[in-house]
Amino acid sequence: MQEKNIFMRKEGLVFANISFFKKDSMRMGREIDTEILIVDDNIDNLNVLRGVLKNDYKIRIATNGIEALASINEALPDLILLDVHLPKLSGFEVCSKLKKQEKTKKIPVIFLSALQDSYNRLQAFKLGAVDYIAKPFEMAEVMARVKIHMYYSFLEKEVNRLNRRLIENQLEIL
């Protein structure tokens, strides 16, 4: 019997072989039909981020915290790029509200901010953000961080799915 290859090796690193877990659901670390909500009151930032990310992901935008929450309540995004300084409701307040709700607490939030001091970075992580990118940002860095957090999110969902399947199988045996 041939052993299934769950892990693959590339350039000395070991990666989970996604095709083992879910055929054709991810390509090159990005999920098909994955949606990102970008929240920023600066139209130039929105346009740059949307322009670069739209080739790989579905993009939604919001220009303030209230719009962001309304958009999230309408349909859950897979990841949120969130500015700290927003009109009507700050990015910190938006993140805090999301992390308190069962249906939204698992959505990865990456802060984008001109605030580069450690206090604001730590505040973002305390509120549940998965990452913090300082402005002005390098698009290659944003792309890399989005890709890795989408990958982590996919793996978490896949582990949960496989655990549910394992429990179901165990119950059938009993």
What ranges do the domains of the chain cover? 31-173
| Mean pLDDT (the chain, rounded) | 84
- DSSP for residue 61: E
Confidence of residue 25 (pLDDT cuts 50, 70, 90): very low
Predicted pLDDT of residue 169: 87
Task: In whole angstroms, give the CA distance from residue 146 to residue 140.
Answer: 10
- Phi, psi at residue 94, to the nearest 5°? -60, -50
Predicted pLDDT of residue 173: 81
Confidence of residue 171 (pLDDT cuts 50, 70, 90): confident
Burial per residue of 123-155, b for 16 or more beta-carbon CB atoms within 10 angstroms, e otherwise: bbeebbbbbbbbeebeeeebeebbbebbbebbe
Task: In whole angstroms, give the CA distance from residue 114 to residue 121.
Answer: 11
Predicted pLDDT of residue 71: 97
Q: Mean pLDDT over residues 3-27, rounded?
A: 45
Residue 20 has pLDDT above 50, yes or no: no
- Determine what percent of the chain is predicted with pLDDT higher than 70: 82
Per-residue CA distances from 39 to 23, 154, 160 (Å) = 32, 22, 28
Predicted pLDDT of residue 6: 44
Write down the architecture of domain 31-173 according to CATH. 3-Layer(aba) Sandwich (3.40)
Task: In whole angstroms, give the CA distance from residue 143 to residue 145.
Answer: 6
pLDDT in tens, 30-86: 445 789 999 999 999 999 999 999 999 999 999 999 999 999 999 999 999 999 999
Task: In whole angstroms, give the CA distance from residue 60 to residue 159.
Answer: 27
CB-neighbour burial class of residue 171 (10 A; exposed 0-12, middle 13-18, buried 19+): exposed
